[in-house]
Amino acid sequence: MPNLCRRRKSCRLCASVKMTQVLELCPTPPANAFVSKKFLSQSQPVFPLKLFFCESCSHVQLVDIVNPELLFKNYVYVSGTSPVFISHFHDYAETIIKSYVSNPEGQLVLDIGSNDGTLLKEFKKYGMRVLGVDPAQEISVKACNEGVETLNAFFTRKLAHQIRVDYGAAKVVTANNVFAHSDELIDITNGIHDLLAPDGVFVFEVSYLADVFQGTLFDTIYHEHLAYHSVKPLQHFFKKHGLEMIAAKRVKTHGGSLRGIVQLANGPREIDASIGAFIKEEADLGLHKASTLHSFGVRIGEIKEELRCVLKSLKEEGKTIGGFGAPAKATTLMHHFDIGPDIIDFIVDDSQLKQGLYSPGMHIPIIGSSAIYKKKPDVMLILAWNFSKSIMKDHREYLRRGGTFVVPLPKVEIFKL
Ligand SMILES: [Zn+2]
Protein backbone atom coordinates (compact mmCIF):
# COMPACT_ATOMS: atom_id res chain seq x y z
CA MET A 1 0.00 0.00 0.00
CA PRO A 2 1.44 3.46 -0.85
CA ASN A 3 2.04 5.96 1.95
CA LEU A 4 -1.31 7.38 2.99
CA CYS A 5 0.14 10.63 4.26
CA ARG A 6 3.46 12.45 4.11
CA ARG A 7 4.74 15.66 5.66
CA ARG A 8 6.57 18.38 3.73
CA LYS A 9 9.26 20.32 5.54
CA SER A 10 9.40 23.45 3.40
CA CYS A 11 6.99 26.10 2.11
CA ARG A 12 5.00 25.00 -0.93
CA LEU A 13 5.52 28.39 -2.60
CA CYS A 14 9.00 29.62 -1.68
CA ALA A 15 10.75 26.46 -0.32
CA SER A 16 11.75 28.23 2.92
CA VAL A 17 12.03 25.99 5.97
CA LYS A 18 11.11 28.84 8.32
CA MET A 19 7.62 27.55 9.00
CA THR A 20 5.57 28.22 12.16
CA GLN A 21 2.56 26.19 13.22
CA VAL A 22 -0.34 28.60 13.75
CA LEU A 23 -3.36 26.34 14.22
CA GLU A 24 -3.84 22.70 15.15
CA LEU A 25 -7.26 21.23 14.47
CA CYS A 26 -8.31 17.73 15.59
CA PRO A 27 -7.17 15.01 13.16
CA THR A 28 -9.90 13.81 10.78
CA PRO A 29 -10.41 11.24 8.05
CA PRO A 30 -10.60 12.73 4.52
CA ALA A 31 -13.54 15.17 4.60
CA ASN A 32 -15.45 13.35 1.85
CA ALA A 33 -14.81 9.80 3.10
CA PHE A 34 -18.45 8.89 3.72
CA VAL A 35 -18.91 5.28 4.79
CA SER A 36 -21.39 2.66 3.65
CA LYS A 37 -23.04 0.33 6.15
CA LYS A 38 -20.88 -2.70 5.36
CA PHE A 39 -17.67 -0.81 6.25
CA LEU A 40 -18.98 0.65 9.51
CA SER A 41 -17.05 -1.85 11.63
CA GLN A 42 -13.72 -0.78 10.09
CA SER A 43 -12.07 2.20 11.74
CA GLN A 44 -11.11 4.99 9.37
CA PRO A 45 -7.57 6.37 9.36
CA VAL A 46 -7.33 9.96 10.57
CA PHE A 47 -4.68 12.47 9.51
CA PRO A 48 -3.22 15.58 11.17
CA LEU A 49 -4.79 18.93 10.31
CA LYS A 50 -2.17 21.52 11.21
CA LEU A 51 -1.93 24.93 9.61
CA PHE A 52 1.54 26.43 9.11
CA PHE A 53 2.64 29.98 8.29
CA CYS A 54 5.75 30.61 6.19
CA GLU A 55 7.87 33.27 7.91
CA SER A 56 9.61 34.04 4.59
CA CYS A 57 6.67 34.61 2.20
CA SER A 58 3.56 34.55 4.50
CA HIS A 59 1.94 31.61 2.68
CA VAL A 60 -0.53 29.71 4.92
CA GLN A 61 -0.68 25.99 4.26
CA LEU A 62 -1.20 22.42 5.42
CA VAL A 63 2.01 20.39 5.54
CA ASP A 64 0.54 16.91 6.02
CA ILE A 65 -0.36 15.73 2.56
CA VAL A 66 -2.84 12.91 2.24
CA ASN A 67 -2.22 10.77 -0.83
CA PRO A 68 -4.29 12.35 -3.66
CA GLU A 69 -5.37 8.86 -4.77
CA LEU A 70 -7.15 8.52 -1.44
CA LEU A 71 -8.75 11.97 -1.69
CA PHE A 72 -9.77 12.10 -5.32
CA LYS A 73 -10.26 8.41 -6.21
CA ASN A 74 -14.03 8.56 -5.81
CA TYR A 75 -14.35 12.21 -6.71
CA VAL A 76 -17.91 12.68 -7.92
CA TYR A 77 -18.26 16.44 -7.84
CA VAL A 78 -19.69 17.54 -11.19
CA SER A 79 -19.82 21.30 -11.67
CA GLY A 80 -22.45 21.28 -14.46
CA THR A 81 -25.10 19.97 -12.09
CA SER A 82 -25.27 23.22 -10.15
CA PRO A 83 -27.09 26.18 -11.79
CA VAL A 84 -25.12 28.56 -9.54
CA PHE A 85 -21.86 27.31 -11.06
CA ILE A 86 -23.13 27.42 -14.63
CA SER A 87 -24.06 31.07 -14.16
CA HIS A 88 -20.74 31.79 -12.43
CA PHE A 89 -18.76 30.23 -15.29
CA HIS A 90 -20.85 32.08 -17.90
CA ASP A 91 -19.88 35.42 -16.31
CA TYR A 92 -16.31 34.20 -15.78
CA ALA A 93 -15.72 33.44 -19.50
CA GLU A 94 -17.41 36.66 -20.59
CA THR A 95 -15.28 38.80 -18.26
CA ILE A 96 -12.01 37.18 -19.28
CA ILE A 97 -12.70 37.47 -23.00
CA LYS A 98 -13.87 41.09 -22.77
CA SER A 99 -10.88 42.13 -20.68
CA TYR A 100 -8.03 40.08 -22.10
CA VAL A 101 -8.79 38.40 -25.45
CA SER A 102 -9.28 40.83 -28.33
CA ASN A 103 -9.79 38.20 -31.01
CA PRO A 104 -11.05 34.92 -29.46
CA GLU A 105 -11.99 33.05 -32.68
CA GLY A 106 -9.80 29.95 -33.07
CA GLN A 107 -7.56 30.73 -30.06
CA LEU A 108 -6.72 27.98 -27.56
CA VAL A 109 -8.08 27.98 -24.00
CA LEU A 110 -6.93 25.29 -21.59
CA ASP A 111 -8.67 24.49 -18.28
CA ILE A 112 -6.66 22.61 -15.66
CA GLY A 113 -8.95 20.52 -13.46
CA SER A 114 -11.71 20.98 -16.01
CA ASN A 115 -14.21 18.60 -14.35
CA ASP A 116 -17.14 18.05 -16.76
CA GLY A 117 -16.14 20.97 -19.02
CA THR A 118 -18.74 23.47 -17.78
CA LEU A 119 -16.34 26.44 -17.95
CA LEU A 120 -14.88 25.43 -21.33
CA LYS A 121 -18.35 25.19 -22.88
CA GLU A 122 -18.74 28.90 -22.10
CA PHE A 123 -15.46 29.76 -23.87
CA LYS A 124 -16.47 27.57 -26.80
CA LYS A 125 -19.47 29.85 -27.41
CA TYR A 126 -16.95 32.53 -28.44
CA GLY A 127 -15.40 30.30 -31.09
CA MET A 128 -12.33 29.43 -29.02
CA ARG A 129 -10.63 26.03 -29.30
CA VAL A 130 -11.03 24.36 -25.90
CA LEU A 131 -9.00 21.68 -24.13
CA GLY A 132 -9.51 20.27 -20.65
CA VAL A 133 -7.16 18.35 -18.38
CA ASP A 134 -8.59 16.37 -15.47
CA PRO A 135 -7.42 13.33 -13.48
CA ALA A 136 -10.92 12.01 -12.76
CA GLN A 137 -11.58 9.35 -15.38
CA GLU A 138 -15.36 9.14 -15.56
CA ILE A 139 -15.79 12.91 -15.58
CA SER A 140 -13.24 13.29 -18.41
CA VAL A 141 -15.13 10.79 -20.54
CA LYS A 142 -18.40 12.64 -19.85
CA ALA A 143 -16.81 15.94 -20.93
CA CYS A 144 -15.44 14.39 -24.16
CA ASN A 145 -18.85 12.93 -24.96
CA GLU A 146 -20.31 16.41 -24.60
CA GLY A 147 -17.86 17.89 -27.10
CA VAL A 148 -15.16 19.19 -24.75
CA GLU A 149 -11.89 17.45 -25.57
CA THR A 150 -10.37 16.45 -22.24
CA LEU A 151 -7.04 14.78 -21.46
CA ASN A 152 -7.43 12.37 -18.55
CA ALA A 153 -4.28 13.27 -16.59
CA PHE A 154 -2.72 15.42 -13.88
CA PHE A 155 -1.34 18.63 -15.43
CA THR A 156 2.48 18.69 -15.37
CA ARG A 157 5.19 20.69 -17.11
CA LYS A 158 5.88 17.64 -19.26
CA LEU A 159 2.25 17.49 -20.39
CA ALA A 160 2.32 21.26 -21.06
CA HIS A 161 5.16 20.72 -23.55
CA GLN A 162 3.21 17.99 -25.31
CA ILE A 163 0.11 20.22 -25.47
CA ARG A 164 2.19 23.04 -26.94
CA VAL A 165 3.42 20.70 -29.70
CA ASP A 166 -0.03 19.23 -30.42
CA TYR A 167 -2.27 22.29 -29.99
CA GLY A 168 -0.01 25.38 -30.01
CA ALA A 169 0.36 28.12 -27.39
CA ALA A 170 -2.61 29.00 -25.16
CA LYS A 171 -4.24 32.43 -25.14
CA VAL A 172 -5.99 31.61 -21.89
CA VAL A 173 -5.15 29.04 -19.20
CA THR A 174 -7.59 28.65 -16.31
CA ALA A 175 -7.28 26.69 -13.06
CA ASN A 176 -9.95 26.83 -10.40
CA ASN A 177 -9.29 25.31 -6.99
CA VAL A 178 -6.41 23.23 -8.42
CA PHE A 179 -4.11 25.93 -7.08
CA ALA A 180 -5.38 25.21 -3.58
CA HIS A 181 -5.63 21.43 -3.98
CA SER A 182 -2.26 20.52 -5.45
CA ASP A 183 1.08 20.07 -3.69
CA GLU A 184 2.90 20.43 -7.04
CA LEU A 185 2.42 24.16 -7.62
CA ILE A 186 5.94 24.79 -8.94
CA ASP A 187 5.69 22.17 -11.69
CA ILE A 188 2.15 23.28 -12.61
CA THR A 189 3.23 26.94 -12.73
CA ASN A 190 6.29 26.19 -14.86
CA GLY A 191 4.01 24.28 -17.22
CA ILE A 192 1.63 27.24 -17.47
CA HIS A 193 4.60 29.55 -18.14
CA ASP A 194 5.80 27.34 -20.99
CA LEU A 195 2.36 27.04 -22.53
CA LEU A 196 1.18 30.67 -22.53
CA ALA A 197 1.23 32.73 -25.72
CA PRO A 198 3.24 36.00 -25.37
CA ASP A 199 0.01 37.95 -24.78
CA GLY A 200 -1.80 35.09 -23.02
CA VAL A 201 -3.28 35.16 -19.53
CA PHE A 202 -3.49 32.64 -16.74
CA VAL A 203 -6.61 32.96 -14.58
CA PHE A 204 -7.14 31.15 -11.28
CA GLU A 205 -9.69 31.10 -8.50
CA VAL A 206 -8.91 29.86 -5.01
CA SER A 207 -10.57 30.29 -1.64
CA TYR A 208 -9.12 33.44 -0.14
CA LEU A 209 -7.36 33.57 3.22
CA ALA A 210 -8.95 36.95 4.03
CA ASP A 211 -12.41 35.37 3.67
CA VAL A 212 -11.43 32.35 5.78
CA PHE A 213 -10.15 34.72 8.46
CA GLN A 214 -12.90 37.37 8.35
CA GLY A 215 -15.78 34.90 7.96
CA THR A 216 -14.43 32.35 10.50
CA LEU A 217 -14.54 29.71 7.74
CA PHE A 218 -12.21 27.47 9.74
CA ASP A 219 -14.18 24.39 8.67
CA THR A 220 -13.01 24.91 5.07
CA ILE A 221 -9.66 23.67 6.41
CA TYR A 222 -9.51 20.03 5.37
CA HIS A 223 -7.03 17.80 3.62
CA GLU A 224 -8.05 18.58 0.01
CA HIS A 225 -7.34 22.27 0.67
CA LEU A 226 -3.58 22.38 1.03
CA ALA A 227 -3.16 26.11 0.43
CA TYR A 228 -4.92 29.18 1.91
CA HIS A 229 -3.79 31.79 -0.57
CA SER A 230 -3.32 35.53 -0.32
CA VAL A 231 -1.96 37.99 -2.89
CA LYS A 232 1.39 38.90 -1.35
CA PRO A 233 2.93 35.39 -1.32
CA LEU A 234 1.43 34.59 -4.73
CA GLN A 235 2.86 37.75 -6.32
CA HIS A 236 6.31 36.78 -5.07
CA PHE A 237 5.83 33.17 -6.24
CA PHE A 238 4.79 34.07 -9.80
CA LYS A 239 7.68 36.52 -10.14
CA LYS A 240 10.13 33.76 -9.23
CA HIS A 241 8.72 31.62 -12.05
CA GLY A 242 8.85 34.17 -14.89
CA LEU A 243 5.27 35.40 -14.52
CA GLU A 244 3.56 38.44 -13.05
CA MET A 245 0.23 38.85 -11.31
CA ILE A 246 -1.52 41.80 -12.98
CA ALA A 247 -4.95 41.92 -11.32
CA ALA A 248 -6.91 40.48 -8.40
CA LYS A 249 -10.59 40.43 -7.54
CA ARG A 250 -12.78 38.95 -4.81
CA VAL A 251 -15.55 36.64 -6.06
CA LYS A 252 -18.36 34.93 -4.14
CA THR A 253 -17.65 31.25 -4.94
CA HIS A 254 -17.13 28.85 -2.00
CA GLY A 255 -17.91 31.45 0.65
CA GLY A 256 -15.33 33.90 -0.71
CA SER A 257 -12.62 33.38 -3.29
CA LEU A 258 -9.77 35.25 -4.91
CA ARG A 259 -9.52 35.51 -8.69
CA GLY A 260 -6.04 36.30 -9.93
CA ILE A 261 -4.89 37.26 -13.46
CA VAL A 262 -1.31 36.46 -14.46
CA GLN A 263 0.77 37.12 -17.59
CA LEU A 264 4.32 36.36 -18.66
CA ALA A 265 6.88 38.65 -16.96
CA ASN A 266 7.11 41.98 -18.82
CA GLY A 267 3.99 41.04 -20.79
CA PRO A 268 1.88 43.58 -22.70
CA ARG A 269 -0.39 44.71 -19.82
CA GLU A 270 0.20 47.13 -16.94
CA ILE A 271 -0.04 45.83 -13.38
CA ASP A 272 -3.47 46.88 -12.13
CA ALA A 273 -3.87 48.96 -8.95
CA SER A 274 -5.85 46.07 -7.42
CA ILE A 275 -2.63 44.19 -6.63
CA GLY A 276 -1.27 46.93 -4.38
CA ALA A 277 -4.71 47.45 -2.81
CA PHE A 278 -5.05 43.73 -1.95
CA ILE A 279 -1.58 43.57 -0.41
CA LYS A 280 -2.30 46.65 1.70
CA GLU A 281 -5.64 45.23 2.88
CA GLU A 282 -3.99 41.91 3.76
CA ALA A 283 -1.34 43.78 5.76
CA ASP A 284 -4.05 45.82 7.54
CA LEU A 285 -5.82 42.58 8.49
CA GLY A 286 -2.51 41.25 9.84
CA LEU A 287 -2.46 38.30 7.45
CA HIS A 288 1.29 38.62 6.95
CA LYS A 289 1.94 37.87 10.64
CA ALA A 290 1.79 34.51 12.42
CA SER A 291 0.30 36.17 15.54
CA THR A 292 -2.91 37.06 13.68
CA LEU A 293 -3.46 33.43 12.76
CA HIS A 294 -2.80 32.40 16.36
CA SER A 295 -5.59 34.77 17.40
CA PHE A 296 -7.84 33.13 14.78
CA GLY A 297 -7.27 29.84 16.63
CA VAL A 298 -8.23 31.48 19.93
CA ARG A 299 -11.49 32.74 18.38
CA ILE A 300 -12.31 29.23 17.14
CA GLY A 301 -11.58 27.83 20.62
CA GLU A 302 -14.05 30.29 22.17
CA ILE A 303 -16.79 29.33 19.68
CA LYS A 304 -16.13 25.66 20.45
CA GLU A 305 -16.58 26.25 24.22
CA GLU A 306 -19.79 28.18 23.68
CA LEU A 307 -21.33 25.70 21.23
CA ARG A 308 -20.45 22.68 23.37
CA CYS A 309 -21.99 24.40 26.37
CA VAL A 310 -25.24 25.05 24.45
CA LEU A 311 -25.45 21.49 23.08
CA LYS A 312 -24.56 19.92 26.44
CA SER A 313 -27.28 21.78 28.29
CA LEU A 314 -29.82 20.83 25.59
CA LYS A 315 -28.86 17.17 26.03
CA GLU A 316 -29.16 17.50 29.81
CA GLU A 317 -32.71 18.79 29.29
CA GLY A 318 -33.38 15.57 27.39
CA LYS A 319 -33.66 17.20 23.94
CA THR A 320 -33.02 15.25 20.76
CA ILE A 321 -30.62 16.82 18.24
CA GLY A 322 -30.13 16.28 14.51
CA GLY A 323 -27.61 17.80 12.11
CA PHE A 324 -28.57 19.69 8.95
CA GLY A 325 -26.31 19.18 5.93
CA ALA A 326 -23.33 16.88 5.35
CA PRO A 327 -20.87 19.01 3.35
CA ALA A 328 -17.17 18.09 3.41
CA LYS A 329 -16.51 20.88 5.88
CA ALA A 330 -18.84 19.32 8.47
CA THR A 331 -16.11 16.71 8.97
CA THR A 332 -13.72 19.36 10.27
CA LEU A 333 -16.40 21.09 12.32
CA MET A 334 -17.67 17.91 13.97
CA HIS A 335 -14.21 16.55 14.76
CA HIS A 336 -12.76 19.79 16.06
CA PHE A 337 -15.86 20.63 18.11
CA ASP A 338 -16.16 17.00 19.23
CA ILE A 339 -19.75 16.60 18.05
CA GLY A 340 -20.35 12.87 17.73
CA PRO A 341 -23.15 10.32 18.01
CA ASP A 342 -23.48 11.13 21.73
CA ILE A 343 -24.89 14.52 20.66
CA ILE A 344 -26.36 14.08 17.18
CA ASP A 345 -28.67 11.18 16.32
CA PHE A 346 -28.74 11.66 12.53
CA ILE A 347 -27.86 14.11 9.79
CA VAL A 348 -30.19 15.18 6.99
CA ASP A 349 -28.90 16.09 3.53
CA ASP A 350 -30.72 16.69 0.24
CA SER A 351 -28.01 14.96 -1.83
CA GLN A 352 -29.16 11.49 -2.74
CA LEU A 353 -25.51 10.48 -3.18
CA LYS A 354 -25.01 10.91 0.58
CA GLN A 355 -28.31 9.52 1.87
CA GLY A 356 -27.88 6.00 3.25
CA LEU A 357 -24.21 6.60 4.05
CA TYR A 358 -22.56 7.50 7.37
CA SER A 359 -20.55 10.62 8.16
CA PRO A 360 -16.72 10.36 7.92
CA GLY A 361 -15.16 9.30 11.23
CA MET A 362 -18.19 9.96 13.43
CA HIS A 363 -20.37 7.43 11.55
CA ILE A 364 -23.65 9.28 12.02
CA PRO A 365 -26.38 8.12 9.59
CA ILE A 366 -27.34 10.51 6.76
CA ILE A 367 -30.97 10.59 5.66
CA GLY A 368 -33.31 12.79 3.60
CA SER A 369 -34.47 16.14 5.02
CA SER A 370 -38.13 15.09 5.30
CA ALA A 371 -36.95 13.18 8.39
CA ILE A 372 -37.10 16.35 10.46
CA TYR A 373 -40.92 16.15 10.26
CA LYS A 374 -41.08 12.40 10.90
CA LYS A 375 -38.45 12.04 13.62
CA LYS A 376 -39.32 15.46 15.09
CA PRO A 377 -35.97 16.27 16.69
CA ASP A 378 -36.21 19.11 19.21
CA VAL A 379 -33.12 20.81 17.81
CA MET A 380 -31.37 20.90 14.42
CA LEU A 381 -27.72 21.97 14.39
CA ILE A 382 -26.99 23.49 10.96
CA LEU A 383 -23.71 21.97 9.80
CA ALA A 384 -24.03 23.54 6.31
CA TRP A 385 -24.14 26.87 8.14
CA ASN A 386 -23.26 29.01 5.10
CA PHE A 387 -26.79 28.09 3.89
CA SER A 388 -28.44 28.74 7.29
CA LYS A 389 -30.77 31.45 5.99
CA SER A 390 -32.17 29.43 3.11
CA ILE A 391 -32.42 26.24 5.22
CA MET A 392 -34.45 28.06 7.88
CA LYS A 393 -36.61 29.67 5.20
CA ASP A 394 -37.29 26.31 3.51
CA HIS A 395 -38.08 24.69 6.86
CA ARG A 396 -40.12 27.38 8.57
CA GLU A 397 -42.70 24.68 9.16
CA TYR A 398 -40.22 22.91 11.46
CA LEU A 399 -39.89 26.13 13.50
CA ARG A 400 -43.67 26.57 13.48
CA ARG A 401 -44.03 23.09 14.95
CA GLY A 402 -41.79 24.11 17.85
CA GLY A 403 -38.39 23.15 16.48
CA THR A 404 -35.15 25.00 17.21
CA PHE A 405 -32.26 25.70 14.84
CA VAL A 406 -28.74 26.19 16.19
CA VAL A 407 -26.27 27.93 13.87
CA PRO A 408 -22.66 27.23 14.94
CA LEU A 409 -20.71 29.84 12.95
CA PRO A 410 -19.55 32.59 12.47
CA LYS A 411 -21.06 32.92 15.96
CA VAL A 412 -23.35 30.59 17.91
CA GLU A 413 -26.99 31.58 17.39
CA ILE A 414 -30.28 29.94 18.40
CA PHE A 415 -33.48 30.41 16.37
CA LYS A 416 -37.02 29.45 17.42
CA LEU A 417 -40.46 30.99 17.09
ZN1 LIG B 1 7.05 30.62 1.72
> Quick one: pLDDT at residue 15?
95
pLDDT digits (tens, 9 = 90+) for 332-361: 999 999 999 999 999 999 988 899 999 999
Q: Is residue 254 part of a domain?
A: no
pLDDT digits (tens, 9 = 90+) for 167-178: 999 999 999 988
The DSSP-derived string for 310-361 is: HHHHHHHTT--EEEE---THHHHHHHHTT--TTT-S-EE-S-TTTTTSB-TT
Could you tell me the distance, in angstroms and rounded to a whole number, from the CA of residue 113 to the centre of ligand 1?
A: 24
Could you tell me the distance, in angstroms and rounded to a whole number, from the CA of residue 336 to the centre of ligand 1?
A: 27
What are residue 324's DSSP bridge partners?
348, 382
pLDDT digits (tens, 9 = 90+) for 255-308: 789 999 999 999 999 999 999 999 999 999 999 999 999 999 999 999 999 999
Q: By residue range, what is the domain housing residue 188?
A: 89-202
Whole-model pTM?
0.92
Q: Which of 38, 361, 382 is nearest to 222 (CA)?
A: 361
Q: Is residue 2 part of a domain?
A: no
Could you tell me the distance, in angstroms and rounded to a whole number, from the CA of residue 190 to the centre of ligand 1?
A: 17
Domain count for the chain, please give it: 2
CATH code at 355?
3.40.50.720
Could you tell me the distance, in angstroms and rounded to a whole number, from the CA of residue 163 to the centre of ligand 1?
A: 30
Q: Is residue 290 part of a domain?
A: no
From 202, 224, 257, give the residue that closes a domain.
Answer: 202
From 155, 183, 202, give the residue that closes a domain.
Answer: 202
Could you tell me the distance, in angstroms and rounded to a whole number, from the CA of residue 292 to the centre of ligand 1?
A: 17
Which is higher by pLDDT, 77 or 193? Answer: 193
pLDDT digits (tens, 9 = 90+) for 110-122: 999 998 899 999 9
From 178, 202, 226, give the residue that closes a domain.
Answer: 202
pLDDT digits (tens, 9 = 90+) for 39-97: 999 889 999 999 999 999 999 999 999 988 777 655 555 555 667 778 889 999 999 99
CATH code at 198?
3.40.50.150
On whether the CB atoms of residues 157 and 129 are closer than 8 A, the answer is no
Looking at the predicted structure, is the pLDDT value of residue 196 above 80? yes
* Burial degree of 305 (CB within 10 A; 0-12, 13-18, 19+): exposed
Could you tell me the distance, in angstroms and rounded to a whole number, from the CA of residue 52 to the centre of ligand 1?
A: 10
Q: Is residue 144 part of a domain?
A: yes
The Cα–Cα gap between 76 and 351 comes to 12
Q: Is residue 162 part of a domain?
A: yes
The Cα–Cα gap between 259 and 256 comes to 10
pLDDT digits (tens, 9 = 90+) for 117-172: 999 999 999 999 999 999 888 888 999 999 999 999 999 999 999 999 999 999 99
